[in-house]
């Protein structure tokens, strides 16, 4: 006989909003970006007004924790599905500001036309039109008087029936009496079961991340400072993107501004560096894995709940210790010296712009390696080299692209067992043998994706090795990446298209070089045999057509740094497929040369 794992209870929207304001039900996402478009908020209000169902909310009680006196304590409800809907209601009905996905604080104003009983997102035209109540939050304000609003409306809209307007406004205000079903999951369910239930109940089948569960678990904890810890994670990620938000925190959140977390993140106010803008998932991964020696965030949720993995019981002492460790991990993550040293290490490897950083999880584990090495007292120069080489190996081998949590868990456990330095060195040696550079890498570079990790590594190599731009006498690849550059096709795109080649063929990364825009434009659609002949003439007293190099030896050297055969200047123009094959091999060896100096 099966046991029901949940209960379903209808609650008025007014009750839900009261729970949220009082903290009875936790919606940590309110402090994080609100991803709904304003039109979705409008549609939600219209559905409620029409009496249509708006879906269930799913809440989960904290797992029961055994307290010191032997009794158990069921925690607050965590709202694990319905956060966007409830946030939308608070924004529209209560006039609360929300953070957009661009980290802008905005008010979503939904207008209502009581004559047509329709909703619309407020805009300048609507705000000038007296037929609309410009912001329905005015109708739901505690001091609002429907009769007074009705009279004001009919004064501005002569001939409109007062009774019709009053009835529409009264119906609008009653939407907070509409009931929404709350599915409350049993407090003894484990994280895997809760995730499975969420996916099955949610009509969109949205994947609920373990990081979302962890953030919810942290947010509802007040006994061990989880509520402040969650804010520290959110605020740091926000400030990394929008440093000007610091002043708002100081003014609007005095409690946090006075906490131990605020001073360590104040340094972000002067930073406009976007090389690594972590999300809350990134922070949790790094802080948890570096401190706990585990890689799976579902373990973090269990530990914060006080789970004893041996007895399967929940104990307060374990919860308290786990919150303490996570706090140490977060403080280590946001530390100015640590964070800036990580970005400095990435830059020193040639990854000078965020456009070259494609694997966020590779950066995350590089940070874990750094924090572990720092805690172990590995000498700074040795640690920097270790992190550079680990990061390079990670992106070249796609170490964290498939199942990052599994890879994190495996690597950190091996580091625990074998030691950081020994493990990193052995993995790098095993993953990047000589055969990788000469056999596997050239094959992997047979791709038309300009965002491929191999092209990113190649560009980083050019930065690290101090290469000049393609056909440039003075401008470096570093300069081009930091300012403005074109990805030039050595065999021009239009020339190859004219031969009937597909996009996947002419956009091979082995056909790409970084060049100044003016050089790219000057070459245009010229066939390689034409413009390489003109380049040779340029170095023999002819007209300067492409860049400023006029010495033949310098030009040959420039081509070689771009892995382009300098024999092309002598008229030896290979067939396109042969060129790609030659250049892939040369690019792979250049990446090897780069790796060896990291």
pLDDT tens digits, 107-163:
899 999 999 999 999 999 999 999 999 999 999 999 999 999 999 999 999 999 999
In the chain, the largest separation of any two C-alpha atoms, in whole Å, equals 93
SS (H, E, C) 430-487: HHCCHHHHHHHHHHHCCCCCCCCHHHHHHHHHHHHCCCECCCCCCCEHHHHHHCCCEE
Q: What's the pLDDT score for residue 187?
A: 76
CA dihedral sign, ordered 80, 83, 85, 89: positive
Q: What's the pLDDT score for residue 6?
A: 79
Residue 292 resides in a domain: no
Tens digit of each residue's pLDDT (9 = 90 or more) over 79-113: 777 878 888 898 899 898 887 766 677 889 999 99
Residue 272 resides in a domain: yes
- For range 286-313, the mean pLDDT: 90
Assess whether 89 and 237 both reside in one domain: no
3-state secondary structure of 8: strand
Rounded CA separation 249/239 (Å): 10
Residue 291 resides in a domain: no
Q: What's the pLDDT score for residue 417?
A: 97
Instruction: Tokens 């009794």: give the residue.
Output: 71
Number of domains in the chain: 4
Assess whether 367 and 311 both reside in one domain: no
Q: Which domain holds residue 258?
A: 209-282+298-328
Residue 293 resides in a domain: no
Q: Which of 201, 226, 241 is the last residue of a domain?
A: 201
Q: What's the pLDDT score for residue 207?
A: 52
Residue 436 resides in a domain: no
- In eight-state DSSP terms, residue 186 is P
Assess whether 124 and 189 both reside in one domain: yes
Q: What's the pLDDT score for residue 208?
A: 57
- Could you tell me how far CA 235 lies from the centroid of its own chain? 14
Q: Which of 201, 235, 265 is the last residue of a domain?
A: 201
Assess whether 197 and 102 both reside in one domain: yes
Assess whether 12 and 126 both reside in one domain: yes
Are the C-beta atoms of residues 74 and 321 closer than 8 Å to each other? no
- CA-CA-CA-CA torsion for 2, 3, 9, 15, nearest 10 degrees? -150
Residue 289 resides in a domain: no
Tens digit of each residue's pLDDT (9 = 90 or more) over 396-432: 999 999 889 999 999 999 999 999 999 999 999 999 9
Assess whether 213 and 196 both reside in one domain: no
Assess whether 37 and 136 both reside in one domain: yes
Assess whether 243 and 184 both reside in one domain: no
Residue 265 has which token pair? 């993140």
Parallel, antiparallel, or unpaired: how do β-strands 72-73 and 65-66 relate?
Answer: antiparallel
Burial class (CB in 10 A: 0-12, 13-18, 19+), 571: exposed
SS (H, E, C) 491-544: CCHHHHHCCCCCHHHHCCHHHEEEECHHHHHHHCCCCHHHHHHHHHHHCCCCCC
Assess whether 306 and 372 both reside in one domain: no
Residue 288 resides in a domain: no
Are the C-beta atoms of residues 459 and 356 closer than 8 Å to each other? yes
Percent residues over pLDDT 90 in the chain: 68
Q: What's the pLDDT score for residue 5?
A: 74
Assess whether 234 and 181 both reside in one domain: no
End-to-end alpha carbon distance in the chain: 62
Alpha carbon separation from 366 to 277, 435, 472, 523, 549 (Å, rounded): 15, 25, 34, 41, 40
Q: What's the pLDDT score for residue 97?
A: 86
Q: Of 178-182, 214-218, 246-250, 507-511, where does the model show the most confidence?
A: 507-511
Assess whether 115 and 172 both reside in one domain: yes
Assess whether 418 and 474 both reside in one domain: no
**Which secondary structure element, helix H or strand E, spans residue 327, and what is its range?**
helix 316-334
Phi, psi dihedral angles at 326 (to 5 degrees): -65, -40
């Amino acid at each position: 006989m099966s046991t029901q794992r949940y209960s379903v209870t209808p609650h008025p929207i007014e009750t839900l909003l009261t729970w949220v304001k009082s903290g009875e039900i936790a919606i940590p996402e309110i402090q994080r970006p609100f991803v709904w478009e304003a039109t979705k908020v409008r549609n939600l209000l219209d559905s409620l007004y029409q009496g249509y169902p708006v879906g269930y909310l799913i809440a989960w009680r904290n797992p029961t924790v055994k307290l010191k006196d032997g009794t158990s304590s069921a925690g607050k409800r965590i709202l694990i599905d319905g956060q966007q809907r409830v946030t939308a209601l608070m924004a529209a009905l209560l006039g609360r500001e929300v953070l957009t996905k661009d980290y802008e604080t905005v008010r979503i104003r939904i207008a209502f036309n009581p004559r047509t009983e329709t909703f619309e997102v407020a805009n300048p035209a609507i705000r000038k039109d007296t037929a609309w109540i410009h912001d329905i939050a005015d109708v739901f304000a505690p001091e609002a008087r429907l009769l007074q609003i009705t009279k004001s409306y009919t004064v501005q809209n002569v001939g409109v029936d007062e009774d019709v307007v009053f009835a529409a406004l009264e119906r609008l205000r009653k939407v907070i009496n509409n009931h929404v079903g709350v599915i409350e999951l049993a407090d003894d369910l484990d994280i895997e079961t809760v995730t499975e239930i969420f996916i099955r109940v949610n009509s969109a089948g949205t994947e609920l991340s373990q990081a979302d569960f962890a953030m919810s678990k942290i947010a509802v904890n007040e006994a061990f400072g989880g509520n402040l810890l969650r804010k520290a994670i959110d605020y740091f990620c926000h400030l990394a993107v929008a440093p000007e938000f610091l002043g708002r925190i100081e003014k609007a959140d005095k409690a946090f501004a006075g906490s131990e977390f605020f001073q360590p993140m104040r340094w972000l106010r002067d930073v406009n560096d976007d090389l690594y803008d972590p999300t809350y998932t990134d922070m949790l991964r790094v802080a948890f894995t570096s401190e706990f020696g585990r890689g799976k965030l579902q373990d973090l949720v269990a530990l914060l709940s006080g789970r004893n993995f041996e007895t399967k019981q929940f104990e307060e002492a374990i919860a308290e210790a786990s919150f303490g460790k996570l706090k140490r991990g977060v403080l280590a993550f946001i530390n100015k010296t640590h964070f800036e040293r990580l970005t400095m290490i990435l830059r020193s490897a040639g990854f000078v712009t965020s456009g070259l950083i494609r694997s966020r999880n590779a950066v995350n584990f590089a940070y874990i390696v750094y924090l572990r090495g720092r805690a172990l007292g590995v000498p700074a120069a040795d640690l920097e080299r270790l992190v550079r080489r680990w990061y390079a190996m990670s992106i070249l081998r796609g170490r964290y692209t498939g199942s990052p949590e599994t890879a994190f868990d495996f690597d950190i456990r091996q580091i625990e067992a074998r030691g950081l330095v020994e493990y990193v060195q052995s993995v790098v040696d095993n993953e990047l043998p000589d055969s990788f550079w000469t056999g596997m890498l050239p094959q992997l570079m047979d791709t038309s994706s300009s965002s491929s990790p191999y092209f990113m590594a190649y560009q980083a190599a050019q930065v690290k090795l101090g290469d000049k731009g393609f056909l440039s006498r003075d401008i470096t690849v570093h300069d081009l990446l930091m300012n403005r550059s074109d990805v030039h096709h050595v065999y021009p795109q239009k020339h190859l298209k004219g031969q009937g080649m597909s996009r996947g063929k002419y956009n091979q990364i082995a056909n790409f070089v970084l060049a100044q825009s003016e050089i790219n434009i000057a070459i245009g659609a010229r066939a390689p045999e034409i413009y390489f002949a003109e380049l040779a003439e340029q170095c023999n007293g002819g007209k300067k057509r492409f860049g400023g190099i006029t010495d033949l030896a310098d030009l040959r050297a420039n081509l070689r740094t771009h892995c382009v055969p300098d024999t092309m200047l002598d008229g030896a123009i290979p067939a396109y497929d042969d060129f790609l094959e030659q250049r892939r091999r040369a690019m792979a060896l250049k990446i090897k040369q780069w790796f060896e100096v990291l």
